[in-house]
């Protein structure tokens, strides 16, 4: 045990929507107290008072917050404003602590105690809790956008099912079933009976209106020929089937409008902090916002190594008897880890038409690691780790990404 550990009381807090649970430990992992309190500002001073009563002369309390759903933001903000030392506990770390015991149990009290134990064992390596409202709001926007996108995907799948009943060859009509032109078509002609009196020139005029003149008369003729070849397959209850399709079209248009508004808001928030992550190959505004929201204020990480460890990308060494090897970490923030994984895949893909790599430097780096004897999985983790360095540098120094020369990729 380090001498420094004797100076602290460790308060682990398991956070929930309505109530939080806090457990107080000393440096010997002895439980000194436990309390459950409402997630309301009026209850926060009593928690601070209860902890301060446990402090001996010369001791300091440090709080660990395991915040998985954003429920602890208000409590963390209160503690910071009161001059308390507060650390963010990655849920993967406290989960690993909980599973390290012979008997695995799961309840709020034990979860809070595991947070406190993780705080005691690894306090100096944990990031500080920084309740910056900008990043908190951005994270809420990202989470809400994900929810909308998930709902939209569900409606698209439902639309596929309905269209297969009335338009068996619908997949050949448009490249995207939920594109602007396609939605206008399904809205106006939800079943083949709506096309019975429509000529090719009339349909072509309709398609050109919604496709910015991209669709030609040939496309209209193709659709009408496909409908004629399929025959009348709608069967009974055609009016009800049309109602379902038009309802799905209205939903998709609404979701698309919502997503566009969220994308605009996220772009504005990225501009406010001069975030230039979207200069990286394969990173759009949404991905840049997701990365920024998950990482938060990058200054809470003293180095890219700390960020890599937080994201579960830094390898873990396991060995015995003078032998050992590095293994891929299964800890860390899995949401952030998955974002880096998706981003790494985008660096290695090639363009469909030309087959040229999107990021030649990274593709060369990947093959070089393979030539050094690494497996594909290990080389892929090297790509992710290199991306951590780039993201960390861009966020810290507010500089755009510059594609390196292939000879400089090392």
| Exposure string over 163-185, b if 16+ CB within 10 A, otherwise e | beebbbebeebbeebbeebbbbb
409 pLDDT band (50/70/90 cuts)? very low
pLDDT, position 112: 94
Of 124-138, 178-192, 217-231, 351-365, the range with the highest mean pLDDT is: 178-192
Which residue would you say has higher pLDDT here, 382 or 333? 382
What is the model's pLDDT at position 408?
A: 44
At residue 104, the pLDDT reads: 72
At residue 320, the 3 state secondary structure works out as strand
Place of tokens 């990947």: 366
Q: What is the pLDDT of residues 15-60, one digit of tens each?
A: 998 999 999 999 898 999 999 999 999 999 999 999 999 999 989 9
CB-CB neighbours of 403 under 10 Å? 13
Tell me, what's the pLDDT at 320?
66
Question: Mean of the pLDDT values across residues 314-323?
Answer: 70
Q: Does 329 score more than 90 pLDDT?
A: no
Q: Pick the more confident residue, 101 or 256.
A: 256
Listed range (103-117, 215-229, 272-286) with the worst mean pLDDT: 103-117
Q: Which residues contact 111 (CB under 8 A, 6 or more apart)?
A: 14, 21, 66, 94, 98
Q: What confidence tier does 76 reach under pLDDT thresholds 50, 70, 90?
A: very high
pLDDT of res. 52? 95
Torsion of CA 226, 229, 232, 233, to 10 degrees: -80
Residue 126 binned pLDDT confidence (cut-offs 50, 70, 90) = confident
Average pLDDT over residues 261-281: 95
**pLDDT surpassing 70 at residue 406:** no
Reduced to 3 states (helix: H, G, I; strand: E, B; else coil), residue 350 is: strand
Domain 3-131 - what CATH class? alpha beta
Helix spans in 32-132 (H): 44-54, 73-81, 91-99, 108-122
Residue of 336, 356, 406, 345 lying closest to 379 (CA atoms): 345
pLDDT score recorded for residue 154: 97
| Average pLDDT value over all residues in the chain | 89
Going from N- to C-terminal start, the domains of the chain cover 3-131, 136-269, 274-408
Q: Tens digit of pLDDT for each residue in 351-377?
A: 877 888 888 999 999 999 999 998 898
pLDDT of residue 1: 54
In the chain, the percentage of residues whose pLDDT exceeds 70 is 93
128: pLDDT strictly greater than 90: no
Query: At 410, is the pLDDT very low, low, confident or very high (cuts 50, 70, 90)?
Result: very low
What is the Cα–Cα distance from 260 to 255, expressed in whole angstroms? 9
* pTM of the predicted structure, to 2 decimals: 0.75
Residue 231 has which token pair? Answer: 């025959």
CATH of region 136-269: 1.10.287
């Amino acid at each position: 045990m380090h001498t420094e550990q004797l100076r602290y009381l460790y308060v682990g807090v398991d956070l929930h929507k309505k109530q939080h649970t806090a457990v107080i430990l000393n440096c010997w992992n002895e439980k000194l107290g436990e309390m459950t309190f409402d997630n309301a500002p009026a209850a926060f001073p009593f928690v601070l008072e209860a902890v301060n009563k446990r402090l001996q002369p010369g001791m300091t309390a440090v709080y660990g917050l395991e915040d998985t759903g954003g429920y602890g933001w208000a409590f963390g903000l209160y503690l910071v404003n009161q001059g308390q030392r507060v650390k963010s506990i990655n849920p993967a770390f406290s989960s690993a602590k909980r599973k390290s015991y012979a008997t695995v149990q799961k309840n709020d009290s034990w979860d809070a105690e595991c947070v406190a134990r993780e705080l005691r064992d690894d306090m100096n390596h944990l990031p500080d809790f920084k309740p910056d409202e900008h990043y908190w709001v951005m994270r809420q926007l990202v989470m809400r956008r994900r929810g909308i996108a998930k709902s939209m995907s569900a409606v698209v799948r439902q639309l596929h099912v309905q269209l297969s009943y009335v338009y068996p060859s619908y997949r050949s009509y448009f490249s995207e079933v939920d594109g602007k032109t396609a939605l206008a078509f399904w809205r106006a002609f939800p079943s083949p009976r709506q096309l019975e009196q429509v000529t090719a020139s009339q349909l072509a005029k309709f398609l050109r209106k919604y496709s910015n003149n991209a669709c030609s008369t040939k496309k209209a003729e193709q659709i009408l020929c496909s409908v004629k070849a399929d025959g009348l397959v709608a069967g009974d209850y055609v009016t009800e089937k049309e109602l379902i399709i038009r309802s799905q079209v209205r939903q998709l248009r609404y979701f698309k409008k919502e997503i566009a508004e969220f994308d605009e808001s996220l772009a504005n928030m990225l501009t406010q902090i001069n975030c230039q992550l979207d200069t990286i190959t394969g990173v759009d505004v949404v991905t840049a916002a997701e990365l920024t929201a998950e990482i938060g204020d990058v200054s809470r990480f003293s180095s890219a190594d700390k960020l890599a460890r937080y994201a579960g990308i830094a390898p873990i060494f396991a060995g015995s008897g003078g032998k050992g090897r590095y293994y891929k970490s299964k800890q860390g923030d899995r949401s952030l880890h998955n974002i880096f994984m998706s981003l790494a895949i985008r660096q290695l893909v090639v363009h469909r038409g030309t087959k040229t790599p999107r990021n030649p430097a990274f593709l060369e780096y990947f093959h070089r690691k393979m030539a050094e004897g690494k497996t594909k999985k290990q080389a892929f983790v090297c790509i992710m780790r290199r991306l951590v360095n780039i993201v960390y540098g861009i966020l810290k120094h507010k500089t755009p990404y510059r594609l390196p020369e292939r000879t400089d990729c090392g």
